[in-house]
Amino acid sequence: MIARIASILVFLALVGPMHAQTIGSWQRISTKITFPLWDVAFIDSLRGVAVGDYGVILRTKDGGFTWTHTLSDDQFALRNVHFFDDSTGIAAGFRGSIFRSTDGGERWSKVPIPHDVNFPGMCAVGSTVWLAGEEGLVLKSNDRGITWKSINSGSPYLLGSIAFSDEQHGWAASMQRQLLRSTDGGLTWKEQKLTTFLPVTAVHALSANDGLLCGYHGLVMRTSDGGASWAQLSSHQADYMCIATDSTGRGWAVGKRGVVAQGRQENFVWKLFDVLGTKSLYSICFLPNGAAIAVGDEGGVYRLSSIGITDEIPAPGGVAPQQSPPRQEK
């Protein structure tokens, strides 16, 4: 571990200044790392944190234009990050890695848990946070990640995404096309039937009864009855990895080969918004000042200065990508 940290620090000391590259409406910000960034979260319009493989944490204090590197003293991938307020944050990922910060992301301390498994899914509402992981395991904390309760969801699969709209109502999804529903804060779960045979990569809770999910080959679905039924929405044919909504209520999805798609609140008809090169995107977040940040492969950080408030979707900044065949989680 010491050798790993030393080698990364030496590398960071040798690299030159970061620079930005314009791609369509976006700027790609150089972070000088070559492995994936999986998630990003902002405390306000200036301060944000991105996490990725090898326990690396990136911090920005200028709205995402420049990033500094912080090491979590862990060699495993961090897949999610969230801030409860301007000081307290949590990051989690593989092999039971959970870290907390109480100083706005400058320093991180590891939280011990009795599970050495992967947790690719995380969400938080208020002071409550949930993790979703291997063999259907769900962890829940009511104190911002200090202590945890283990919950068996009943699923035999890796739960790759989890989303709650409030402290009671939520979903968890697996790429094995399994969708679970909880109405008691994640203590118990029931399977909901889907009409798709495509892998589900992410789920997003809009309210107690409204939700979105996405997946491969243009899969975007919506429910308005708590998941009793899911309707397939018209979308650009892409392999989506993340789905979210901005402050105006518009939906956004990012995925493989740099695809960014957008859906209108009225009918959530999804259209191609931009193509940011050929590398995969894994997460997108929205800043209070109207900017957006997306992260993905090869340390990719992409910044959109304004998500806009019009109903017009600009022409994409690149060529629509080729599709890749579905793959199963291992």
Residue 320 included in any domain: no
Amino acid at the residue 269: V
Which residues constitute the domain of residue 87?
2-304
CATH number, domain at 300?
Answer: 2.130.10.10
State yes or no: pLDDT of 25 exceeds 90: no
DSSP annotation of 314: P
Nearest to 79 by CA among 122, 113, 116, 19: 122
* Percent of all residues in the chain with a pLDDT value above 70, rounded to a whole number: 83
pTM of the model: 0.86
State yes or no: pLDDT of 113 exceeds 60: yes
Residue 296 included in any domain: yes
316-321-325 Cα angle (round to 5): 145
Residue 193 included in any domain: yes
Q: Are 199 and 175 in contact (CB under 8 A)?
A: yes
Residue 315 included in any domain: no
What pLDDT sits at residue 273?
86
State yes or no: pLDDT of 13 exceeds 50: no
What pLDDT sits at residue 3?
45
- In this structure, how many other beta carbons lie within 10 angstroms of the beta carbon of residue 306? 11
Residue 328 included in any domain: no
Domains of the chain: total: 1
